[in-house]
Amino acid sequence: MNDSQKIIIAIDGFSGCGKSTTAKEVAKALNYIYIDTGAMYRAVTLYFYRHKVDTRNTTAIQMALQNIEIRFEYEAATQKNITILNEEVVEDEIRQMYISERVSAVSALPEVREAMVAQQRQMGINKGIVMDGRDIGTNVFPNAELKIFMQAQVQVRAVRRQKELQAKGQEVDLQEIADNLSQRDHLDSTRTENPLRQAEDAHVIDTTQLTIEQQSQKIIQLAVTLQNV
């Protein structure tokens, strides 16, 4: 495959639908780069939390953003893309509940979105990427060749998220997880700046009854068809 055939795959949807896991599988199968934009907003949230950035103060936000450098690194041992914030590995820390509880508010700030979206567009300049988030198909790459919108019942999403956290040794109450997912769905889809919404030309995938393997295969098949056009 030559580079000119590579496309941009935008995967948006509600929290906990399996977007990241699916996106990683798709990227691996197509030999594309995977970019987790949620991790970027989580890393900003961690920085703001640690540095007690006053989110009502535009100047403070802008100054803080200038001190934030986020990048991803492939870790061969775990075969995972890990998030690095100012040279510190924060991959596990940004998945903690205290970040999940604060990230929707931070990601709704216009200055934060502007800075992250600019970086995301830069990352997609050579195509060959799978990017997952909330506004990828609608705002970051409105011309993406393939757009996916994922949804699933909240209780099913909560059970999956609880298992993920348990695998990392974190015991969190199921209702607490379900409440956090519902609250983030609400905040993410009602904010003023680039809210979560389905792009008109997106393929909708309901993952309630699907395995990661099934949802990944659907996307890979769509991508392969488009790559060969």
Residue ranges that bind ligand DC, judged by CB under 6 A: 15, 37-38, 41-42, 103-104, 107, 133-136, 184, 188
Question: Which tokens in the block code for residue 4?
Answer: 């000119």
Tell me how far, at minimum, the Cβ of 39 lies from ligand DC, in Å: 6
For residues 132 and 42, the answer to whether their CB atoms sit within 8 Å is no
**Which CB, 2 or 41, lies closer to ligand DC?**
41
**Cα 130 from Cα 146, distance rounded (Å):** 10
**Which CB, 1 or 89, lies closer to ligand DC?**
89
**Which CB, 12 or 222, lies closer to ligand DC?**
12
∠ Cα 2 31 213 (to 5°): 135
For residues 179 and 104, the answer to whether their CB atoms sit within 8 Å is no
Q: Is 47 helix (H, G, I), strand (E, B) or coil?
A: helix
Tell me how far, at minimum, the Cβ of 228 lies from ligand DC, in Å: 28
Tell me how far, at minimum, the Cβ of 69 lies from ligand DC, in Å: 18
**Which CB, 104 or 222, lies closer to ligand DC?**
104
Tell me how far, at minimum, the Cβ of 30 lies from ligand DC, in Å: 21
Query: What beta strand segments (E) does 62-215 contain?
Result: 70-75, 80-85, 88-89, 129-133, 146-151, 203-206
- DSSP element (H, E) containing 55: none
**Cα 30 from Cα 103, distance rounded (Å):** 30
**Which CB, 5 or 186, lies closer to ligand DC?**
186
Indicate the burial class of 93 (C-beta count within 10 angstroms; 0-12, 13-18, 19 or more): middle
Tell me how far, at minimum, the Cβ of 105 lies from ligand DC, in Å: 9
